[in-house]
């Protein structure tokens, strides 16, 4: 097999397993772990097989990045939120466990989302570790201005997220605007923030909407391209109401990776109907290397928002990382320290959370496997 950084001009025969059939296209095949399906067969112009690639083997050398979302997306759903210093201590535990990206807070208006009224104070007291991206959500222009002010004061974040919704109905309900108006707002925000933070685009309702039903994947791809044009390097793809299925996830993430290579998709799935982990694996199968999750599976939309049904929590970090570890994949997380952080999160909220691994414990890592059935 060519080295990991080799690029070759070949025909790529893509076996769409476990479903019958295949597709064929020509292009530069990059050995970076970004595989479009479970298996690739690379053939030359005479259709002689050059290499066979199993997605899991390739992923074993690809660093997966998990963004720990407990302190922001998790806590926004809570009635009783830990105090500022407890939040700061939890965030430092996440960083100590090896999480390379951490959602720290939101610059939402304190009256609308009281859980983050202490955003500035938290960032002022929060320890920083080298190599970690600390993210704040910025829902409007004023939020970006606050992020810039904290940065100028020497304690800001280094990553911010900017939000759109994939549907008009949800945009009107959640953002009180039209999609066109929200995109104009995002353009203003990105213009102010570009070059000062790493920008993360967020598309909510990307895989289903409680008001409009199924969402056209083409619209999500178009939104991804718009975020890339505005300077975003990461794209959070949100299954906001937990309506996704593995097949839909494979289809959407395959398109995003193939059609918008300038932006890196992040899989953000809610476990409303128990499919969160399965959807993470589906995204992984087609080449997604970035995931959002929250300790104990807490979170979702803010407490006062009533659309959707059931529990809206995120994928539990403990369960996701443990599964990836058992598959022999490189994630950079210290499992013992992760479990220490998990216990601290439960203590901070005063109850047992929704992670199965938190109850059963994580298992020893398997030896690398040459083939995953």
Look up the CATH number of the domain holding residue 214.
3.20.20.70
Residue 369 maps to a domain = no
Q: Do 46 and 122 reside in the same domain of the chain?
A: no
The domain of 36 spans 7-59
The answer on 45 and 22 residing in a single domain is: yes
Is the per-residue pLDDT at 264 higher than 60?
yes
* Residues 294, 261 within the same domain: yes
Residues 28 and 71 in one domain: no
Which pLDDT does position 24 carry in this prediction?
37
- 44 and 185 in a single domain? The answer is no
183 and 158 share a domain?
A: yes
Q: Are residues 112 and 17 in the same domain?
A: no
* Burial class, 291, CB count within 10 angstroms (exposed 0-12 / middle 13-18 / buried 19+): buried
Are 23 and 83 members of one domain?
A: no
**Residue 9 pLDDT exceeds 80:** no
* Residue 30 forms part of a structural domain: yes
User: What is the predicted pLDDT for the residue at 292?
Assistant: 98
Mean pLDDT, to the nearest integer, of 220-244? 97
Summarised one tens digit per residue, pLDDT across range 42-97 is 555 565 555 555 555 555 556 899 999 999 999 998 989 999 999 999 999 999 99
pLDDT in tens, 327-350: 889 999 999 999 999 999 999 999
Is 1 inside a domain boundary? Answer: no
Among 137, 110, 106, residue whose Cα is nearest residue 122: 106
Mean model confidence pLDDT for the chain:
85
Which residue is listed with tokens 């970006």?
144
Domain match, 144 and 265 both: yes
Domain's final residue, options 16, 42, 59 = 59
Domain stops at, among 59, 87, 102? 59
Per the structure, how many domains does the chain have? 2
Would 370 be classed as within a structural domain?
no
pLDDT band at 32 (very low <50, low <70, confident <90, very high): very low
**Closest C-alpha to 318, from 334, 330, 302:** 334
What's the pLDDT tens digit per position in 166-181?
Answer: 999 999 998 899 999 9
Give yes or no: residues 316 and 341 share one domain: yes
| pLDDT at residue 27 in the model | 37
Q: pLDDT digit string (tens) for 113-131?
A: 999 999 999 999 999 999 9
C-alpha distances out from residue 22 to 164, 211, 286, 307, 316, Å: 35, 35, 14, 40, 34
In-domain check, residue 23:
yes
Q: Which residue has the higher pLDDT, 293 or 53?
A: 293
| Span 302-331, pLDDT tens digits | 555 555 555 568 999 999 999 999 988 999
Kindly state the average pLDDT of the residues 201-226: 97
Respond yes or no on whether the N-terminal peptide bond of residue 18 is cis (omega within 30° of 0): yes
Burial code of 358-367, b = ≥16 C-beta within 10 A, e = fewer?
A: beeebeeeee
Q: By the 8 A CB rule, do 94 and 75 touch?
A: no
Is residue 95 domain-shared with residue 235, that is, in the same domain?
A: yes
**pLDDT, tens digit, 9 for 90 and up, residues 183-198:** 999 999 999 999 999 9
End residue of a domain, out of 44, 59, 74: 59
Q: Residue 34: pLDDT above 50?
A: no
> Is 106 found in the same domain as 36?
no
């Amino acid at each position: 097999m060519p080295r990991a950084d080799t690029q070759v001009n070949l025909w790529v025969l893509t076996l769409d397993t476990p479903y019958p059939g295949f597709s064929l296209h020509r292009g530069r095949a990059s050995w970076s772990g970004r595989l479009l399906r479970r298996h690739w067969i690379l053939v030359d112009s005479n259709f002689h097989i050059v290499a066979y690639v199993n997605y899991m083997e390739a992923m074993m050398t690809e660093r997966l990045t998990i963004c720990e979302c407990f302190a922001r997306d998790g806590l926004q759903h809570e009635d009783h939120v830990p105090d500022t210093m407890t939040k700061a201590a939890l965030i430092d535990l996440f960083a100590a466990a090896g999480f390379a990206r951490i959602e720290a807070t939101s610059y939402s208006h304190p009256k609308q989302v009281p859980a983050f009224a202490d955003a500035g104070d938290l960032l002022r007291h929060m320890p920083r570790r080298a190599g970690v991206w600390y993210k704040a959500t910025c829902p409007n222009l004023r939020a970006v201005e606050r992020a810039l002010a904290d940065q100028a004061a020497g304690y800001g974040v280094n990553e911010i997220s900017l939000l759109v919704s994939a549907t008009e109905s949800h945009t009107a309900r959640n953002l009180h605007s039209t999609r066109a108006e929200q995109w104009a707002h995002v353009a203003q925000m990105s213009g102010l923030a570009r070059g000062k933070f790493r920008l993360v685009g967020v598309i909510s309702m990307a895989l289903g909407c409680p008001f409009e039903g199924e969402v056209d994947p083409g619209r999500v791809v178009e939104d991804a391209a718009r975020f890339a044009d505005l300077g975003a390097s990461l794209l959070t793809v949100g299954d906001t109401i937990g309506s996704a299925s593995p097949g839909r996830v494979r289809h959407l993430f395959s398109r995003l990776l193939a059609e918008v290579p300038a932006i890196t998709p992040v899989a953000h799935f809610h476990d409303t109907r128990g499919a969160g982990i399965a959807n993470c694996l589906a995204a992984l199968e087609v080449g997604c290397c970035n995931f959002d999750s929250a300790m104990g599976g807490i979170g979702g939309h803010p407490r006062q928002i009533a659309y959707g049904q059931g529990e809206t929590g995120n994928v539990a970090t403990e369960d996701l990382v443990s599964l990836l570890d058992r598959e022999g994949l490189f994630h950079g997380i210290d499992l013992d320290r992760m479990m220490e952080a998990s216990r601290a999160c439960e203590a901070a909220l005063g109850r047992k959370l929704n992670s199965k691994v938190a109850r059963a414990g994580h298992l020893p890592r398997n030896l690398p496997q040459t083939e995953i059935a």
